[in-house]
Structure 1
Amino acid sequence: MKPLCLSLLIPAVLFAGATVYNAPAGVEQDKLFQVKVAGQPSFVYSLPVGGMTYFSYTSFARRADIEITVARPVETVAIRPTSYGIRPVINGNVITFRLDRTAQISVEINGDIKHPLLLFANPPESAPPKPGPSGIHYFGAGQVHNVGRITVTSGQLVYIAGGAIVRGSIFMDQARGVHILGRGVLDGSLYKKGESRMIEVNRSSDVDIEGIIVTNSKHWTVPITASDKVTLHNVKLVSDNDWDDGVDVVGSTNVTVDQCFIRTKDDCVAVKAGVQYFTKFNAQRDVSNVVIKRSVLWNGAWGNGLEIGFETRAASIRGVRFLDNDLIHVEGPEGTFSIHNGDRAVISDVIYDNCRVEDSKGLLVDFKILKSRYSKDAERGQIRNIVFRRIRVDQAEMPSILQGFDATHQVGGVVFEDVKTGGRKWTSLADAGIKATHTENVSFK
């Protein structure tokens, strides 16, 4: 976020229906968009991926009229996810619509996805903490806090108020009962490429992350390694840098990502085991009970949308659920739904249910058992018992691959139930455009 001579002295403005947050003085404002929420100006941040603004409803009776003024002619407007059913009205260069729900949307003008407006409508905060008590890392509104790494221990809380920017990262190891919450921004712009992860959860349990926005990640954004009972809710990850995976679940159990927005250059979500790039402890633990649900995903130039792999150094990765998600853009040549089993794990019991794909440039389904540049195990693994159910893809034709390694390391037991591309239901491998090798028991319903 670049400096600009801009003086905003009041950190937040409350009005009927919503709370808008003013940015700290000196923060660059986006030049393309001006936004009003229920008649009040809402600051638009200038980010490498476009403009960004956010507000919170003041009560659970959610309703707010949105007005966007664009500094260029407006011919068309796409508001994604389209499943929200938002119908904008265009009057010259002014766009209006009503929100009556919490929402994480991309407003795209004249088909331009290089500079959209990202708008985040949050639920009201419930009893936000106050500064002062021991064990609370409190970052107040209306300020830029240049803090670098924040190390948290068991029982501690990190609060980033709406209208605050924290330049730094959050780290924990062997911690229990940690809470990270607020409406403000955790910003990684002070780091060099590969220097730090943004919220690093190592060998920890009972960790809740809620409400905040994380921008400009220079490495994996939220890696969860050898941990248990970790929840992300209403977290927004916005980045466009090398290696900036959104959420990486590594050798962990009981992880839930719910109602989050992830816009990254690399993988949006990746489930792995045995990765030790940044850690010195053993992360070759089995993975189970991972749920990614009700989230909005945008994968940029690299990586995959929803990924399992490539590093799969454990006995099993099972019980992974991708439920009710919107993949609004998958820009790169890789996969939208991908399993890349590069090591010994048996990957099984994976469900993709009620997911919608609006725009994807690569493979739709990309399952491979392989020896890759990331592989370390001598033995290859398995991919078994995978279900696709109620999948809707806007595009009419997209290639897919089911590729086992050999006759004893196969992709097996894959069910495609009510999967449609361009409104046409899949009925066979040929009909779906799937190239299959070393594959068995693939069925269509």
Structure 2
Amino acid sequence: MTTLSTYAYPPSCPSSFVYALAAEGQAQFVYHTAVADFAAFGADGPVRIEVTLPARTGPASVHPLSCRIPCEQDGAALRFTLPGPGNYLVQADELNPLFLYVNPLDMNLPEAGDSVIRIPAGTLAEVGHVTLESGQTLCIEPGAVLRGVIRASNAQDVTICGGGIIDGSCVGAPPAGPRARLVVIEGCKNVTIRDVILIQPESWMLVIGACRDVHIANLREIGEVISSDGIDVVGSQNVLIENCCLRNNDDCIVIKSTLGDSSMGVDWRGDVENVTARGCVLWNAKAGNALEIGHELQSEHIRNIRFEDIDIICVHGHGAPFSIHNGDRATVENIVYDHIRVEHHYDKLIDFRIMRSRFNHDEQRGQVRNVTLRDIEVVESIFNPGYTISVIGGWDAQHTIEGVHFENFRLGGRRVSRPEDLPLYTAHCAGITFD
């Protein structure tokens, strides 16, 4: 029999007026935001779920579809069983999604000590700003809420964990000032960020700027403003992102190299190397892309980037599930998209371009080399044919995209074996192959 851990949130937290939720027959708090609601709890096995929907709600489904979770809809009740810890969501016609964040029972919380900043379960901490130093851990326990922004600069051995919420809605930037990024880790080494929920940012949600040796695991995000990038890996090396669930109104996972705006003088420009994102669930709406490299690439090299075993629930705006926008001088090479599933896309499917935009500063254009899209499964809606396109375009004969390999790429159940199958439009590129 499954054991459940139910989290108690502060009374002031906004509760959903759309959904009610029971897990294993136990009522769970459903947290409300403007673009999505969510519930978080712990379990050590399969969990029977009942969601109460508003009256006259249309058909509902459980995602990612790759989990193949059947559901029974009986009037206002939606019933299904989750297989265990993981990230899931309920999507019903004309309703914001309901995200379900199922944790293991043991959240591996740190023991008390001088180096641990702890926000206890069931409490709300209005902190404004938290600055982490070398060797410090910020632990926001399940059911706790921290309102404010987090910064760590030129530090090492820094951890943010706990299962609780970081809420950026009450930072209060001056009207004429820049909007605050929610969590910024810059110039740091040996960083761990795991199990926390980020909501309601003013701008980018998590920035890893000029860092080395970073592990991001089981991060959950709900961003509603335009520019609510999910995870920005900027001028950093040796980064592992895994088992995250990101709902953003801009790029979900994005690779960049740009000066940044560090108050501590950390320059975020630098090569980006050895980055892996795997096991994630992504929801992109309004702006940006699901998996993005660019636009800002002020470095010599962006290389050895892997995206694997990822469910892209949707890209609703004019971005793309797969995008490279090289607007500066970098050589982008050795990029792999492997075992990616796309449930919905709209304007573009693949968008690889060397270009110049308002975000770019280098006078010299760059290159893109050796990109592989392997074992990709894309659902095709009735609105895609004749509307959705793919683009691979270099800048000129000297600044090209070369070596883009499609291996078992399937669109609407059909294997893509030629450019017309996407359809794909090209310029200043070479070595595009289909296998």
Instruction: Compute the displacement of 1:438 (Å).
Output: 0.4
* Superposition RMSD in Å: 1.4
Partners of 2:76 and 2:376 in 1: how far apart?
35
Q: Is the 8 A contact 1:31 1:71 kept in 2?
A: no
Instruction: Return the match for 2:231 from 228, 231, 247.
Output: 247
Report SS of the residue matched to 1:405: coil
Q: Is the 8 A contact 2:235 2:268 kept in 1?
A: yes
Partners of 2:119 and 2:5 in 1: how far apart?
18
Partners of 1:347 and 1:368 in 2: how far apart?
11
Q: Is the 8 A contact 2:147 2:171 kept in 1?
A: no
Partner of 1:415: 405
Instruction: Return the match for 1:222 from 195, 202, 206.
Output: 206
Q: Is the 8 A contact 1:275 1:311 kept in 2?
A: no
AA in 2 matched with 1:304: N
Instruction: Compute the displacement of 1:191 (Å).
Output: 2.4
- What do the CA deviations read for 1:346-398 (whole angstroms, capped 9, x no partner)? 00000000000001112111011012111211110000100000001001643
Q: Is the 8 A contact 2:406 2:434 kept in 1?
A: yes
- What do the CA deviations read for 1:218-267 (whole angstroms, capped 9, x no partner)? 11111001100111101101111121100001100011110000101111
Report SS of the residue matched to 1:49: coil
1:17-416 map, 5 Å = 17-57=3-43, 59=44, 62-109=45-92, 111-112=93-94, 114-131=95-112, 133-192=113-172, 194-278=178-262, 280-395=265-380, 397=385, 398-416=388-406
Instruction: Compute the displacement of 1:329 (Å).
Output: 1.1
Say whether residues 1:439 and 2:422 are aligned partners.
no
Instruction: Compute the displacement of 1:130 (Å).
Output: 4.4
Q: Is the 8 A contact 1:344 1:377 kept in 2?
A: yes
AA in 1 matched with 2:122: G
Partners of 1:317 and 1:249 in 2: how far apart?
11
Which runs of 5 or more residues in structure 2 are unaligned? none
Count, aligned residues: 425
Partners of 1:142 and 1:395 in 2: how far apart?
44
AA in 1 matched with 2:400: Q
Deviates more, 1:347-356 or 1:242-251: 242-251
Report SS of the residue matched to 1:325: strand
Q: Is the 8 A contact 2:211 2:235 kept in 1?
A: yes
Partners of 1:359 and 1:136 in 2: how far apart?
42
- What do the CA deviations read for 1:148-191 (whole angstroms, capped 9, x no partner)? 11100111111011111110121100111111111111100102
Q: Is the 8 A contact 2:149 2:171 kept in 1?
A: no
Q: Is the 8 A contact 2:152 2:186 kept in 1?
A: yes
Residue 340 and residue 48 in structure 1: after superposition, are their counterparts in 2 closer, same or farther (change >3 A)?
A: same
Report SS of the residue matched to 1:83: helix
Partners of 2:182 and 2:193 in 1: how far apart?
12
Partners of 1:362 and 1:182 in 2: how far apart?
38
Instruction: Compute the displacement of 1:127 (Å).
Output: 4.0
Report SS of the residue matched to 2:403: strand
- What do the CA deviations read for 1:52-83 (whole angstroms, capped 9, x no partner)? 111111x4xx1211111112224311211101
Report SS of the residue matched to 2:420: helix
AA in 2 matched with 1:337: F
Partners of 2:167 and 2:74 in 1: how far apart?
35
Report SS of the residue matched to 1:418: strand
Partners of 1:268 and 1:79 in 2: how far apart?
21
Partners of 2:63 and 2:8 in 1: how far apart?
25
Deviates more, 1:258-267 or 1:122-131: 122-131
Partners of 2:229 and 2:361 in 1: how far apart?
21
Report SS of the residue matched to 2:181: coil
Deviates more, 1:329-338 or 1:391-400: 391-400
Instruction: Compute the displacement of 1:431 (Å).
Output: 2.3
Partners of 2:269 and 2:225 in 1: how far apart?
27
Partners of 1:75 and 1:342 in 2: how far apart?
43
Report SS of the residue matched to 2:328: coil
Partners of 2:346 and 2:55 in 1: how far apart?
28
Residue 207 and residue 94 in structure 1: after superposition, are their counterparts in 2 closer, same or farther (change >3 A)?
A: same
Partners of 1:32 and 1:65 in 2: how far apart?
20
AA in 1 matched with 2:103: N
AA in 2 matched with 1:323: E
Instruction: Compute the displacement of 1:192 (Å).
Output: 4.3
Which runs of 5 or more residues in structure 1 are unaligned? 1-14
Instruction: Compute the displacement of 1:20 (Å).
Output: 1.2
Partners of 2:171 and 2:149 in 1: how far apart?
9
Q: Is the 8 A contact 2:370 2:403 kept in 1?
A: yes
TM-score with structure 1 length normalisation?
0.93
Q: Is the 8 A contact 1:17 1:63 kept in 2?
A: no
Partners of 1:197 and 1:49 in 2: how far apart?
19
Q: Is the 8 A contact 1:74 1:90 kept in 2?
A: no
Instruction: Compute the displacement of 1:16 (Å).
Output: 4.8
Instruction: Compute the displacement of 1:101 (Å).
Output: 2.3
Instruction: Compute the displacement of 1:429 (Å).
Output: 1.3
